[in-house]
Amino acid sequence: MRYVIRRALYALFVVWAAYTITWLLLFYLPGNSAEMMLRAAGANADAALIATLEARYGMDRPALEQYFGLLWQTLTGDFGTSTQLGVPVTTIIGGALPHTLALSAVALGISVVLGIGIALLANTVHGTWLRNILFSLPSVLLSFPVFLSGLILIQIFAFNLHLLPAVGNDGFRALILPAIASGLPASAAIAQVTTKTLDEYTNGPQATYLRARGVGANRVVYAHALRNAIIPATTIIGMSVGGILAGAVITETVFSRQGLGRVLQSGVVNQDVPVVQGVIIISALLFAVANLVVDLVYPRIDPRIRLVTA
C-alpha cells in the first residue's frame, strides 16, 4: 500500500508540474489574449474593450491570484471558458478527446506488436544478413520524424494505391495511417530495448546452460529470454504514451484529424490559456495514469521487485 501511495503521489506531482510550467509559459508569452480575441472577431481593439475582456476573464488580477484561481477551478473539474470560442473548455476537450484516445490506443497497439515482433525475429532468424538488417531497423525507424512518415504513408497508400483515406475522422479506415505514423517511433524504441535485452540473455550463461541441457534456441528466446525482456519493454511502453500524445499535434495536423492536438495548436496560436491548460492537464493525467499502471504492473511481472517495494 505504501508503494501504491508513493506512485500515486508521484503521478499527482507530474500533473501539477505540467500545469505550473504551462501556466508560466503562457502567462509570460508576449502579446495580449484579449487584444487577439478582439482582432479575431474583427472588432476595434481599443483600451476600453481590452480592459472589459480582461476583467471578464480575470486577466487583470495579480499573477498569483490567477494561478491559484485556475488551479482551484482545475481541482474541481472546471477548466474555465475558452477565450477564443466562449464555450466551456470541458465541452471542447470532450469533443476532441475520443478521437485522440482512439488514435493513441491503436498507435500504442501497433507499436507493441511491431516492436516486440522485430525483436523476436532479430533473435530467432538464422541468416546473418537478415539478422543484421533487423538489428539495424529500430535505428532507421527512429530517424524518421512523424510528419515525414505520415507524408510517405499518404503518398503510397492513399494517392498511389487508393487503399486508405488520407485525411479525416470518418471510420476506422481513416485511423490506420495516422496510427501507423504515430506508432512507428514508439515501436522503434520498444524494438531497440527488447532486441538488446534478448540478445544479452541468449548470449549469457543462463542461455548456454539451457542449450547444453537440450533446450531449443527458439524455446530459449520465447520461454526464457522474453520474460526477462518484458520489464524494460514495459517501461518503454509506458513512456511511449507520452510520446504518442505529444506527437498528436503533428499527426492530427498532417492527416487533418480533429483531436486534442489540433485543439492545442489552435489554443497556443490564439493564446487561449484555459484551452491550453485543459489539454495539457488531460494529457499529463493520461501520461501519469499510464506510468502509474506500469509501476503497479512491475511487481506482478517480477517478484523480486515486489520484495524490494514491500
CATH (residue range 89-309): 1.10.3720.10
Here the cell at position 147 is: 510528419
User: What's the start-to-end Cα distance of the chain, in Å?
Assistant: 9
Count of C-beta atoms within a 10 Å radius of residue 31: 8
Domain ranges of the chain: 31-78, 89-309
pTM for this entry: 0.76
CB neighbour list of residue 198: distance below 8 Å, 6 or more residues apart: 119, 120, 122, 123, 221, 225, 226, 229
Tell me the C-alpha distance between 87 and 244, whole Å: 27
Q: Could you list the pLDDT tens digit for every one of the 310 residues in the chain?
A: 777 787 788 888 888 888 888 888 877 776 666 666 666 655 666 677 767 776 776 777 777 887 888 788 888 878 877 877 778 888 888 888 888 888 888 998 998 899 888 888 888 887 778 888 888 888 787 777 888 888 888 889 988 888 888 887 778 888 889 999 888 888 888 888 888 888 888 888 888 888 888 888 888 888 888 887 888 888 888 878 777 877 777 888 888 888 888 888 888 777 777 888 888 888 888 888 887 787 777 777 766 665 555 4
